[in-house]
Amino acid sequence: MPTGLQIIDAWPERAREAAKLMLDAHGEPDDATSALLVWRDVSGCKRVIASKAFYQHDFPTPHTDSVESVIDYRVPVEKLSSLAMFDGSVIVERTAGEVSARCHDERANFLALNLMHDIVTGQKSPQEARAYYGKEFLDYRRKKPTPYMERLRVPPQHETADADSPILTEDELQRAQGEGANT
């Protein structure tokens, strides 16, 4: 089985650099394919994924996203548009009960996930969260304290999956099946 370094050797430079940071921080991944390295239960996250695929992202400044940090978290439906306004790299998987942030490194993902939690709990608006993100990003460059980048501050959640609600009854399904057989 190839090592993480051997796998990422064939990746594009931008994805390889991000994955190398993860390998340096967490060692060999728990799972690996030619396109993904996956660590489970690290840094307060359910899983962290370094990907060969990367995406151009211009918030707060141009960079590429290829490292995704996933947590169990239930987002109320009425907060989904606020999160979309905040950052397009914050991804809500409502049915699975997961939220992830995809950026260039774990610290930026902590920042995005911590601000996601502030938006969901009403501590910040999407605009306030964007402004704070920019401030903390600059503070990191200035070597000033960056509490939202240091660690994941989101309290752990359990039973976060949202299976939604059925809108069709078993009787309606049976009738539809019967109607389809008669045509």
pLDDT single digits (tens) 139-172: 999 999 999 999 999 999 999 999 999 999 999 9
Is residue 183 a part of any domain in this protein? Answer: no
Full domain range(s) for residue 156: 4-162
Question: 3-class SS at 101?
Answer: strand
pLDDT single digits (tens) 8-57: 999 999 999 999 999 999 999 999 999 999 999 999 999 999 999 999 99
Alpha helices in the chain (DSSP H): 4-8, 13-26, 80-86, 106-120, 126-141, 147-150, 170-181
Is residue 27 a part of any domain in this protein? Answer: yes
Domain count, the chain: 1
Q: What is the pTM of this model?
A: 0.93
Is residue 137 a part of any domain in this protein? Answer: yes
pLDDT single digits (tens) 74-131: 999 999 999 999 999 999 999 999 999 999 999 999 999 999 999 999 999 999 999 9
